[in-house]
């Protein structure tokens, strides 16, 4: 292995580890939010706000972090970002009022912005034909959502929810130190000094960027939202205890993170468009089935009324969520393959814009989930909403990509020949 390859491996390994820890902390309220909801007697909308608050700052800061990564380099930006969250994470354990959790959650949410730093930092260490794979491996750090669901409930049951942020604060400090000692700088990865902020933001005028934002608001925003929502959903819908509910919710979160690396390889091999197209169709079908609420149907027959129950069992529900998690893992990688193909010299800014859109989806959707449940009383309304969002993306993708490809492949009519 050459020295350059050793650096590539070290950078990718440590960046993925750091992102996994950051993502686990970003999703912390998905677990500790359940006992906090009971402690503060929160309604569904308030719970949605609680779990989504860290996602807000993690989303809004992604664009400036992407720009700073292009300007100053990913290593220093990532390191400072991790250190800045250690104290706020620790302070969550002392919160007693709803507004305490909101304020500390806003500061902890900065950890979620690590994605736009790490994705650009890692991509620039690899040649174009391997960038999809590299970004997919880094993006597998999304499995931090599953890590939280496996680790945090055990801590809650043994020591109380207050211990979770204390353990996570120590973990973040150790991770930041390891990251600094085992990663490298490359001045060639930074944009030239004469490139202004205004120049970097010109990408906002590109319609393709907004389309990728829409895709990512599903495969990442939806992933974040459902990762935050599923533990409570299992408790409320099926009556599981916290530990069992979190474990089953991990069946969605874990493949949604780990398999992203395979999605990167698939995108390198078959192209971003083909992978994303099938991801949307699989998501659309599964969400349609998941949207159907528990229903008792009474039919008046010649022998009297017959009542039938229609609804998903916990096993069927978990299998469908697993399939959606796999599809979205592939989709998260394929969307960023679009970016590395179309914007090779502006990855930090574009990934910041697209990541911001995806993160905002992860912030708004849990609040909308809670509001819909309070409004309709139907728990599956969260899947109905996601079904509609996927439908919009399928239509957009058809008119801007699929139909264009069909027209390009359609043979031109032969001119009439006069005899």
- Segments making up each domain of the chain, as ranges: 3-185+197-408
Which pair of tokens denotes residue 153?
Answer: 């409930």
> Could you give the maximum distance between any two Cα atoms of the chain, in Å?
92
Contact 217, 360 (CB under 8 A): yes
Q: If we measure between CA atoms, which residue out of 241, 218, 217, 220 comes closest to residue 231?
A: 241
Q: Among candidates 295, 217, 290, 282, which has minimal Cα distance to 255?
A: 282
List Cα–Cα distances, 2 to 9, 41, 126, 130, 176, in angstroms.
11, 58, 14, 17, 26
Q: Which residues of 215-230 are buried (b: 16+ CB within 10 A; e: fewer)?
A: bbbbbbbbbbbbbbbb
What is the per-residue pLDDT for 186? 73
Question: Tens place of pLDDT for every residue, the chain, 419 residues?
Answer: 788 888 889 999 999 999 999 989 988 998 899 899 999 999 888 988 898 889 888 888 888 888 888 788 889 999 999 999 999 999 999 999 999 999 999 999 999 889 889 888 888 888 877 777 888 788 888 788 788 888 999 999 999 999 999 999 999 999 999 999 999 887 766 666 556 666 666 767 778 888 888 899 999 889 888 988 898 899 989 999 888 998 898 888 888 777 877 888 888 888 888 899 999 999 999 999 999 998 888 899 888 899 888 889 999 999 999 999 999 989 988 888 888 787 776 777 787 788 888 888 888 898 899 899 999 999 999 999 999 999 998 998 888 887 766 555 555 555 554 44
- Angle, helices 3-26 vs 44-60, to 10°: value is 150
Instruction: Decide if 172 contacts 290 (C-beta within 8 A).
Output: no
Q: Two tokens at 24?
A: 């686990």
Q: How many C-beta neighbours within 10 Å does residue 319 have?
A: 14
**pLDDT, position 103:** 94
Fold type of domain 3-185+197-408: Growth Hormone; Chain: A; (1.20.1250)
Q: Give the distance from CA 378 to its chain's centroid.
A: 25
Q: What confidence score (pLDDT) does residue 133 get?
A: 80
Q: Are 274 and 338 in contact (CB under 8 A)?
A: no
Residue 309 gets the label, from left (phi > 0), alpha (psi -120 to 50) or beta, of beta
Which burial class, exposed, middle or buried, applies to 238 when counting CB atoms under 10 A from its CB (0-12, 13-18, 19+)?
middle
Identify which of 371, 44, 386 has the alpha carbon closest to the alpha carbon of residue 237.
44
Query: Residue 203 has what pLDDT?
Result: 67
pLDDT at 105: 93
């Amino acid at each position: 292995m050459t020295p350059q390859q050793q650096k590539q491996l070290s950078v990718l390994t440590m960046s993925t580890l750091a992102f996994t820890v950051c993502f686990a902390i970003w999703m912390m309220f998905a677990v500790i939010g359940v006992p906090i909801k009971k402690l503060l007697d929160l309604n569904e909308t308030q719970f949605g706000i609680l779990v989504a608050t860290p996602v807000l700052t993690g989303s809004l800061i992604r664009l400036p972090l992407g720009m700073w990564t292009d300007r100053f380099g990913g290593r220093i930006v990532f390191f400072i970002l991790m250190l800045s969250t250690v104290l706020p994470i620790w302070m969550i354990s002392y919160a007693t009022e709803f507004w305490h959790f909101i304020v500390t959650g806003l500061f902890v949410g900065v950890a979620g912005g690590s994605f736009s730093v790490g994705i650009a930092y890692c991509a620039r260490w690899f040649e174009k034909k391997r960038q999809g794979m590299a970004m997919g491996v880094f993006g597998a750090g999304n499995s931090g959502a599953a890590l939280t669901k496996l680790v945090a409930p055990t801590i809650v049951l043994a020591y109380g929810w207050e211990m979770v942020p204390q353990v996570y604060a120590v973990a973040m400090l150790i991770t930041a130190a390891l990251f600094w000692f085992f990663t490298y700088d490359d001045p060639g990865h930074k944009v030239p000094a004469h490139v202004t902020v205004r120049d970097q933001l010109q990408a906002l005028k590109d319609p393709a960027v907004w389309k990728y934002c829409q895709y990512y608001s599903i495969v990442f925003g939806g992933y974040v939202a459902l990762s935050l929502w599923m533990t409570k959903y299992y408790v409320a819908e099926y009556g599981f205890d916290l530990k069992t509910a979190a474990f089953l919710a991990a069946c969605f979160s874990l493949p949604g993170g780990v398999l992203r690396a395979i999605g990167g390889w698939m995108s390198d091999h078959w192209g971003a468009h083909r992978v994303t197209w099938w991801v949307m169709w699989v998501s659309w079908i599964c969400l349609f089935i998941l949207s159907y609420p528990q229903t008792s149907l009474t039919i008046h027959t010649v022998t009297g009324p017959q009542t039938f129950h229609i609804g998903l069992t916990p096993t069927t529900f978990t299998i469908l969520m697993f399939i959606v998690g796999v599809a979205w893992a592939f989709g998260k990688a394929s969307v960023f393959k679009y970016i590395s193909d179309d914007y090779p010299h502006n990855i930090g800014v574009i990934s910041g814009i697209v990541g911001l859109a995806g993160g905002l989806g992860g912030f708004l959707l849990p609040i909308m989930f809670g509001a819909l449940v309070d409004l309709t009383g139907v728990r599956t309304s969260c899947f109905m909403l996601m079904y509609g969002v996927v439908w919009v993306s399928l239509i957009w993708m058809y008119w801007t990509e699929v139909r264009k490809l069909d027209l390009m492949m359609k043979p031109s009519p032969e001119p009439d020949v006069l005899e």
